[in-house]
Amino acid sequence: MEFRLKELRKKNNISQIKLALDLDTNQNSISRYENMERQADYETLIRIADYFNVSLDYLLGRTEK
């Protein structure tokens, strides 16, 4: 599975810390999601997709749209 969080974050020039604050989580969780060391729960996935205005399928690498 290709999780596009890191790609989206860097494309939008957002630090892990800023993203963590905006999503009401911590920087360590963001890092672990990006490195596939931990999987985000459904609620977090939805918040990330909404934050970047992308679909869950795009976020999870299931589509290019």
Residue type at 44 in one-letter notation: T
If pLDDT is split at 50, 70 and 90, which confidence band does 2 have?
A: confident
pLDDT score of 1 more than 70: no
Least Cα distance to 19 among 49, 45, 51 occurs for 51
pTM for this predicted structure: 0.92
Residue indicated by tokens 């604050």: 21
| All domains of the chain in start order, with CATH | 5-59 (1.10.260.40)
* pLDDT digits 0-9 by tens, 11-43: 999 999 999 999 999 999 999 999 999 999 999
